[in-house]
Amino acid sequence: MNLAENIVNFESVGITIDLAEIQALIPHRYPFLLIDRIEKVQLGESAVGIKNVTLNEWYFQGHFPDHPIMPGVIIIEALAQTAAALVMKSLAAQNNGQKPGDMVYFMSIDEAKFRKPVVPGDVLQLKVVKERARGPVWRFKGEAWVGDQLTDEATFTAMISQK
């Protein structure tokens, strides 16, 4: 079973988070901010991050110059950034708009699979679904898609903390 089946259809519902709000929620900045917007947000549950992959990305200079492929670990990071923004937005909504912590730190990455290359011109859909949340620790299942093709997937855990 894939996440496309688990993410509720939010075509007319759900929250969209634009780039300015993403930057207010998580500390990542260029060149390491890897999501352009987040759509279909169900607070505390799931979201779909969007990354427009372009040839001028910094990692294509060396991966690979004659055959540019987005590194799988960068895709996993983009999934994690989507999840981090979802966590911060969800907790802020529960806390009268106040950001609950300063940072979301990776704790673990499990079951990562890299299935299909992502190349310049692709629009990457970064689907994340919460598996559980216990205090400051959240666990997600993430899948990256280009159109109807699953490209990458992983399960990962993160912790909200003060700097």
The span from the CA of 51 to the CA of 44, in Å, is 21
DSSP result, 114-163: E-S---TT-EEEEEEEEEEEETTEEEEEEEEEETTEEEEEEEEEEEEE--
Q: Could you give the 3-state DSSP secondary structure of residue 3?
A: helix
For the chain, which residues make up each domain, given as ranges?
A: 3-161
* 62-109 pLDDT per residue, tens: 999 899 999 999 999 999 999 999 999 998 888 876 666 678 899 999
CATH class of 3-161: alpha beta
Handedness of CA 26, 28, 29, 33 (dihedral sign): negative
Of 162 and 51, the structure prediction assigns the larger pLDDT to 51
Q: How many secondary structure helices (H) and strands (E) does the chain include?
A: 3, 7
Choosing from 16, 36, 63, 101, the catalytic residue is: 63
Q: For the segment 99-156, what is each residue's pLDDT rounded down to a tens digit?
A: 666 788 999 999 999 999 999 999 999 999 999 999 889 999 999 999 999 999 999 9
- For residue 11, the model assigns a pLDDT of 47
The verdict on whether 63 is a catalytic residue reads yes
